Structure 1
């Protein structure tokens, strides 16, 4: 496979995964369910879908990735599980725009954790982007001070931290973790159904959650998890911005939920800082490898 065909494959995978991810919050909202019920069904369906795909893959070839590769895999699965719990909590406690804009802080958390635990030196451009993104998050959260939305904003920030931690462990282990995030949702499913058993089950339109958990989330996680094998991590990370940009648009069109002025200002700062930093990473990486400095179309 040539460099150009590998790059095209990586971009296609990242684009499909990023677009599938933009449907997550709208489908959760369309299900009109109680938080623990939605978390339980979404997690259980995603887990069953992942296991089905894995078993079918194994039937054709023995070279199927491990579901949970060792202790590092268990740590990654647990972190993704915690990320799922805090993500659902944020969706039900603050606005969609706040959730996706704050989740965009994930790459900066990853850079910080890599610096602390992996000894990867943060370059001045990364520190500048992180400072700008912190300002963006503060502007977004400022609207929520003194309201119930502050809890949701914190849950979104926690979700970004847990996912960044999982990415850091994955990089440190150098193990194949393609199925691990999908298996990790078993943990929140068990917790969610325990709460449902006490408080009762309610999802008015469960087919939206089944579509989300059975097809779109496995597709998103698998594509976005595989893309970095073919394109640089900085380039792949740019496609996560599709959710940041498009999810609030879908929610606005479907539910007429308009972001606040502070959310738009802070979100714009986050997106611009992340795009500029990702472009800088991409161009710097190409220059170091002696490749032409052109951006993917």
Structure 2
């Protein structure tokens, strides 16, 4: 049991924090389902509208949360590291949608689960922060799992019955371009890792305004691309609704719950709780849309999931300062 839960008077807040953070993961897990429910809009249009609703609703949330201190919060982003975080947010948001366009929801979210481990290693490389041996071991597991998932997109199979026989078969099951989405998902993870590193490096940089500015940047760029392509931003009411659900419900509600619950939960447990997104995202599209990934996704995903859970659980054993009630 966590040290927080063991303290008299803290158990209720700790339980509340667990529910809120797990709920955040549940909201975040809806992104792939909402994307699949869009009918005709192009990916550029989806990104433009999703980030528009995200930037708008997140700005309202920041205004409600900080009141008159809202401008000071946004000023924290006006620094080199703040700009890195905003650009990383814009890039990750855009590539995330393109990844879902080409590959299975399960592949994308399972690779995204590796972000905490990759962030830790990137922090060691760029900021010289110490990295636990368990994290380095988890990183090796993550790399192995990602390679296994990428092999599914390439149609790669290994036969040990007659020695070591490598062959290429049908690529990606019913998604022949799955490998493109898988590689894009890797870049999404790198983008999110840079966001975390930027927030850690610029100690005064707040995550939420970075999301707003990054979403606004992505909205402007993808809107311009849509108009240059002669498509514009006109979409059906159905598509606009699901884009709004992605920006306002999936992202903003999820972030609001995470921010509310994070102060009650030790840092080592946050990564473990956020795995609810990884668990439920493939379940939504399987149960409602019958989307089943290739076999390599299950094996690679199991390796990634185990590595991330191992890293989070070993981190929970370390002593964390008790969050304030």
**TM-score, normalized by length of structure 2?**
0.81
Q: Is the 8 A contact 2:82 2:210 kept in 1?
A: yes
In the aligned structure 1, how far is the partner of 2:256 from the partner of 2:209?
7
> Bigger shift: 110-119 or 67-76?
67-76
- Ranges of 4+ aligned residues in structure 1 off by more than 6 Å: none
Find 2:54's aligned residue among 46, 54, 58.
46
Which aligned pairs between 1:27-42 and structure 2 lie closer than 5 A?
27-32=34-39, 33-42=41-50
2:305 to 267, 271, 275: 271
| Residue equivalent to 1:252 | 286
Classify the secondary structure of the residue corresponding to 2:153. Answer: coil
Deviates more, 1:249-258 or 1:216-225: 216-225
CA change 1:268–1:202 in 2 (3 A) is farther
Residues 248 and 199 (structure 1), Cα distance of their counterparts in 2 relative to 1, 3 Å cut: farther
Q: Could you tell which deviates more after superposition, 269-278 or 198-207?
A: 198-207
Alpha carbons of structure 1 residues 226 and 163: separation in structure 2 relative to 1, 3 Å:
farther
Q: Which residue of 2 aligns with 1:183?
A: 213
Q: Distance in 1 between matches of 2:117 and 2:63?
A: 36
Query: Is the Cα–Cα contact under 8 Å of residues 98 and 181 in structure 2 kept in the other structure?
Result: yes
Say whether residues 1:261 and 2:268 are aligned partners.
no
Instruction: Please name the residue that 2:191 is paired with.
Output: 162
2:223 equivalent to 1:193: yes
Q: What is the deviation of 1:161?
A: 0.8
Instruction: Find 1:173's aligned residue among 187, 191, 202.
Output: 202
Which is higher, the Rg of structure 1 or of structure 2? 2
Mapped contact 1:7–1:230 kept (Cα < 8 A): yes
- Aligned-pair distance for 1:167? 0.7
Q: Work out whether 1:114 is the aligned partner of 2:120.
A: no
Q: Which runs of 5+ in 2 are unaligned?
A: 1-7, 155-170
Instruction: State how far apart, in whole Å, the 2-side matches of 1:165 and 1:3 are.
Output: 34
Tell me which of 7, 10, 19 is aligned to 2:14.
7
Aligned length: 286
1:283 aligned onto 2:290:
no
Q: Is the 8 A contact 1:14 1:224 kept in 2?
A: yes
Alignment of 1:26-175 (within 5 A): 26-32=33-39, 33-57=41-65, 61-64=67-70, 66-69=73-76, 70-71=78-79, 72-145=81-154, 147-175=176-204
In structure 1, distance between residues paired with 2:213 and 2:47: 14
Displacement of 1:227 = 4.1
Task: Give yes or no for the alignment of 1:207 onto 2:241.
Answer: yes
- Secondary structure of the 1:259 match is coil
Report the Cα offset of residue 210 of structure 1: 1.2
| Deviation, structure 1 residue 75 | 2.1
State whether residues 62 and 208 of structure 2, in contact with CA within 8 Å, keep that contact through their aligned partners in structure 1. no
Q: Secondary structure at the residue paired with 2:265?
A: coil
CA 1:54/1:4 → structure 2, altered by over 3 Å: closer, same or farther? same
Q: Which runs of 5+ in 1 are unaligned?
A: 292-297
* Partner SS state of residue 293, structure 2: coil
In the TM superposition, what whole-angstrom CA distance separates every residue of 1:3-60 from its partner, at most 9, and x where no partner exists? 44553343233122111101111011112231111101000111111223334455xx
Please give the alpha-carbon distance, in whole angstroms, between the structure 1 residues aligned to 2:64 and 2:133: 46
Counterpart residue number, 2:277? 243
Give how far 1:177 is off. Answer: 2.6
Measured in 1, the distance between the counterparts of 2:192 and 2:28 equals: 15
13 and 180 in structure 1: CA distance in 2 versus 1, 3 angstrom threshold: farther
Alpha-carbon deviation of 1:183?
3.0
Deviations 1:74-122 (A, max 9, x none): 2211111111011111010111111111111111111111111222222
Q: What's the TM-score once normalised by structure 1's chain length?
A: 0.88
- Gap change, CA 1:47 and 1:68, over 3 Å in 2: farther
